[in-house]
Amino acid sequence: MDGAAYNLSALKNLIPSITERVKTGEPDTLEYRWYMNADSSRCHLIECFPSEESFLHHLKNVEPVLGDLFGLAPISGWKIYGTVSKELAEGLRAFGASQNIQPEFYDYETGFMRLSEKSIAFTLTQPADHLS
């Protein structure tokens, strides 16, 4: 989410209520964490679900607050990690189109996850033209 277009104070007031909604209404959600860069000009939300069904439940749970969230902080990018069904991919593309973004899909290869609230995470992007 790009800070050039969002109301930081309103967003910071909204995040805790959405987080609580997810925490109490989605017992299967594995990870739901917000991060802001040093000057609060960009924020990232990392979410992780054990199954496609849990992800769909999450979407239904947060649907009532998405208008408020996207009104404050338009999405500038959306990456989906993990192999999803064709039907879910089509639904996510349609939703992305309604927000003027297209999700990027990444199929699972290998790895593991051990998290705590104090975990540090990073992403590494390798341009396709450097892969052989």
Cα separation, 132 vs 117, in Å, equals 37
How does residue 128 score in pLDDT terms, banded at 50, 70 and 90?
very low
Average pLDDT for 79-105: 90
Percentage of the chain modeled with pLDDT above 70:
83
Strand partners, 31: 48
pLDDT digits (tens, 9 = 90+) for 7-33: 788 888 999 999 999 999 999 999 999
- What's the pLDDT score for residue 127? 52
Cα separation, 2 vs 37, in Å, equals 11
Residues contacting 77, CB < 8 A, separation 6+: 101, 104
pLDDT digits (tens, 9 = 90+) for 46-67: 999 999 999 999 999 999 999 8
Q: Can you give the pTM of this predicted structure?
A: 0.81
